[in-house]
């Protein structure tokens, strides 16, 4: 049994830090849902499980084509970044999807997070993109690491279903999206186009640009869009959380595109 002082555990615990994840190109997935998704994608390189977790998830662990290590409860706590450790953690390889290759497949719907630094929002946006059938998600600017533990949990496993590209250079991302034939739609409180009236626009292949709720998209990014779109709101709220806005916009695009194909 490995303890919190065992070399393998110590090395894995370091992956809680972004700098270690970036250096090692590894991340931690905790809990049966995320671990199962990682195994399904072939990303798990080793798994840590307490005795009780191994008993609960024996069938799952039997499917792992990677080393499985039994760990103490204290080691499981060190490997966890939650209040109540699941006792089941996988060390996973960070996937490296290629933006150019993905765009060559002519996607119809892309979600672009520009400077989304809150991991819960980023993870929820990834989950929404997956649910609405988006072909990929791009995290650009100073967006959060999608393999942050909180982001992974908020994605509810969707980070393993939809390609997530991390590309810091926003200008280069926008240029690549446009060159691939995607129109760029920016969410903006003062947008010139109401989402209610946008169906003729939404049928085209689209990359939606979403910025943080606190200050929205950078002015230069919004100006680069083909349309700046606002979501009509009839209540007293001044703005929407970025994940809520993304859900509305991506769903409307998916609906319009389905209608155009039928």
Q: Within a 13 Å sphere around the CA of 70, how many CA atoms are in the beta-carbon half?
A: 6
Does any domain span residue 2? no
Same domain, 20 and 148: no
pLDDT of residue 213: 82
H or E stretch including 68? strand 68-70
CATH number (domain holding residue 71): 3.30.1330.30
Beta-ladder partners of 89: 30, 48
pLDDT of residue 255: 98
- The tens digit of pLDDT for each residue in 125-142 reads 999 999 999 999 999 999
Same domain, 204 and 121: yes
pLDDT of residue 126: 98
Residue finishing a domain among 93, 108, 138: 93
Same domain, 126 and 142: yes
Same domain, 48 and 143: no
Q: Which two tokens stand for residue 52?
A: 């009780």
H or E stretch including 136? strand 136-140
Same domain, 214 and 167: yes
Same domain, 36 and 122: no
Same domain, 37 and 122: no
Give the rounded percent of residues in the chain with a pLDDT score beyond 90: 94
Contact 61, 49 (CB under 8 A): yes
Beta-ladder partners of 88: 49
pLDDT of residue 178: 98
pLDDT of residue 231: 96
What confidence tier does 100 reach under pLDDT thresholds 50, 70, 90? very high
Same domain, 127 and 213: yes
Mean of pLDDT over the chain: 96
Tell me the mean pLDDT in the region 21-44.
97
Same domain, 79 and 115: no
Tell me the mean pLDDT in the region 208-221.
92
Tell me the mean pLDDT in the region 161-188.
97
When divided into structural domains, the chain yields a total of 2
pLDDT of residue 209: 98
Residues near 110 by Cβ (< 8 Å), separated by ≥ 6? 134, 135, 136, 137, 138, 177, 182, 206, 207, 208
Same domain, 165 and 202: yes
pLDDT of residue 57: 96
Buried b (16+ CB within 10 A) or exposed e, 32-44: eebbbbbbeeebb
For 144, 159, 207, the CA distances from 149, given in Å and listed in that order, are 11, 12, 26
CATH number (domain holding residue 160): 3.40.1280.10
pTM of the model: 0.95
pLDDT at 16 exceeding the cut of 90: yes
Same domain, 154 and 79: no
Residue finishing a domain among 75, 93, 111: 93
Beta-ladder partners of 140: 114, 167
pLDDT of residue 262: 74
Residue finishing a domain among 57, 73, 93: 93
Same domain, 111 and 162: yes
- The domain of 66 spans 7-93
Q: Which two tokens stand for residue 224?
A: 């680069």
CA 184-223-155 angle, to 5 degrees, is: 50
For 37, 69, 137, the CA distances from 161, given in Å and listed in that order, are 8, 26, 11
């Amino acid at each position: 049994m490995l303890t919190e002082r065992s070399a393998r555990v110590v090395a894995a615990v370091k992956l809680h830090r972004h700098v270690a994840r970036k250096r090692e190109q590894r991340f931690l997935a905790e809990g049966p849902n995320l671990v199962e998704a990682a195994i399904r994608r072939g990303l798990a390189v080793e798994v840590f499980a307490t005795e009780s977790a191994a008993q609960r998830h024996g069938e799952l662990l039997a499917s792992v084509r990677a080393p499985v290590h039994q760990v103490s409860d204290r080691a499981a706590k060190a490997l966890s970044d939650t209040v109540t450790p699941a006792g089941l953690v996988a060390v996973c390889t960070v996937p490296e999807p290629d933006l150019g290759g993905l765009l060559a497949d002519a996607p119809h719907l892309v979600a672009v997070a520009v400077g989304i630094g809150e991991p819960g929002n980023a993870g929820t946006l990834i989950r929404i993109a997956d649910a609405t059938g988006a072909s990929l998600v791009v995290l650009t600017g100073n967006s959060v690491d999608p393999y942050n533990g909180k982001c992974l949990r908020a994605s509810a496993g969707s980070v393993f279903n939809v390609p997530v590209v991390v590309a810091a250079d926003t200008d280069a991302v926008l240029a690549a999206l446009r060159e691939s034939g995607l129109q760029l739609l920016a969410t903006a409180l003062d947008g010139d186009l109401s989402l209610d009236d946008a169906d003729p626009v939404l049928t085209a292949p689209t990359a939606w640009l979403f910025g943080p709720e606190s200050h929205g998209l950078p002015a230069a990014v919004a100006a680069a869009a083909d349309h700046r779109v606002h979501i009509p709101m009839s209540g007293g709220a001044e703005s929407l959380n970025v994940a809520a806005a993304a859900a509305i916009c991506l769903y409307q695009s998916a609906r319009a595109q389905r209608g155009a194909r039928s």
